[in-house]
Structure 1
């Protein structure tokens, strides 16, 4: 029976980050699909058919015949259902994107510290769910994509600051007209957090690969030496 190959920590860590990417991308695609589906029942884009149906029974008051617009009712129900799905998937996408971005950033920092984590590790919140870690990736002076990574980090930070500012205003007992305008502007800017975090995650994931170059080369050297030693030990035909 062949021996089971144990995955090297560097490859296992890269797979862990990639799994976070796949998760965020699944929710990203679902969010896009939900947004598109919601537009199909937008009352500003659709014409409701004027046809009605009659209803018998105790549905009308004062002896009047009861009628209903089935198409209009269908659009109303679907608008509510699609809106719920859109909201849910948007929230899931944002959570997954932040886990992806922060998980990749954590992996880079751990490797820089000389650690060898086989997987990305998150703390859990009060509900037992993984909580995002810090997003910053320091000490990449020799990394060619450092400027793009730093720009993406600033974009995420601006969205997070806007979200905090908007939520602080929303929690106040009284909000002036000017503050109300600022609140809506901030929350609108914060709406781009998921996409910003996902974009940052893509760059941070490439930084993970960069940080693992030395470990992977060392592993390749070990395997080559082990293979050479095995060949030397083979009996001469």
Structure 2
């Protein structure tokens, strides 16, 4: 039996929720990578002093010794560091898509459109590119102050990233500018979490913006059901 076609309000909400799930997967993976990296932190971890002997191939090479535990920590430190860096990048990208996708959905509904899914433009590599993050015209929305505060937090992180990257690209920076660059890039490091937090609030704003359309849909279904009952033959 074919599955009944989903109303656009439901599929749009599902589209935004899928963006949440995606960002949350990368968020969880990044947290796990951060924890894994701390387990091989040389500052916090004592390396066992025991060593092993190594002999070269028959007839050549000199015998030597090595710390197998220290080597393992070095390998794992490099491996976990790579995973942490890559998951951080994916988390930031997914969080921005989540936040901007939810914001786009709200604006689309406000314009009177009926998008069944969130739509992104693609970049030169075919990957979805984040859209604008701002959500206007929510005067009657109870969570508007929290949404606006979260938007400002994301904007501050994005401004800091732009400023830090601009300084990093210069051929010469003074000591003061170097300090500003590190401060800005450190602040920009919170962009993923800020975008994710904003996405959660923007997702709730999507539900708010769909209230009228959902009520209209419920009314249509109720009227259709009543008409069907009226058409039933009298026993």
TM more than 0.5: yes
Q: State the TM-score, normalizing by the size of structure 1.
A: 0.96
CA contact (8 A) 2:56 2:62 kept: no
1:117 and 1:57 map into 2 onto residues whose CA distance is 68
> 1:164 Cα shift?
0.1
2:44 matched residue in structure 1 = 45
SS of equivalent residue, structure 2 residue 45: coil
CA drift of 1:29 comes to 0.2
Q: Which is worse superposed, 63-72 or 163-172?
A: 63-72
Query: Using a 3 Å threshold, how does the CA distance of structure 1 residues 63 and 236 change in structure 2: closer, same or farther?
Result: closer
Take 2:63 and 2:157, find their aligned partners in 1: how far apart are those partners?
54
Judging changes above 3 Å, is the alpha-carbon distance between structure 1 residues 61 and 77 closer, same or farther for their aligned structure 2 residues?
farther
Tell me the alpha carbon deviations over residues 170-209 of structure 1, each in whole angstroms, 9 at most, x when there is no partner: 0000000000000000000000000000000000000000
SS in 2 for 1:121: coil
Q: Deviations over 1:132-173 (max 9, x none)?
A: 000000000000000000000000000000000000000000
Cα distance between partner residues in 1 of 2:61 and 2:182? 48
Question: CA RMSD, aligned part only?
Answer: 1.6
* SS state at 2:53 partner: strand
Instruction: Using the TM superposition, name which of 63-72 and 177-186 deviates more.
Output: 63-72
Residue 65 of structure 1 and its aligned partner are, at CA, apart by: 2.7
> How many pairs align?
235
Distance 1:128 1:63, change over 3 A: closer
The DSSP-based 3-state class of the residue aligned with 1:67 is strand
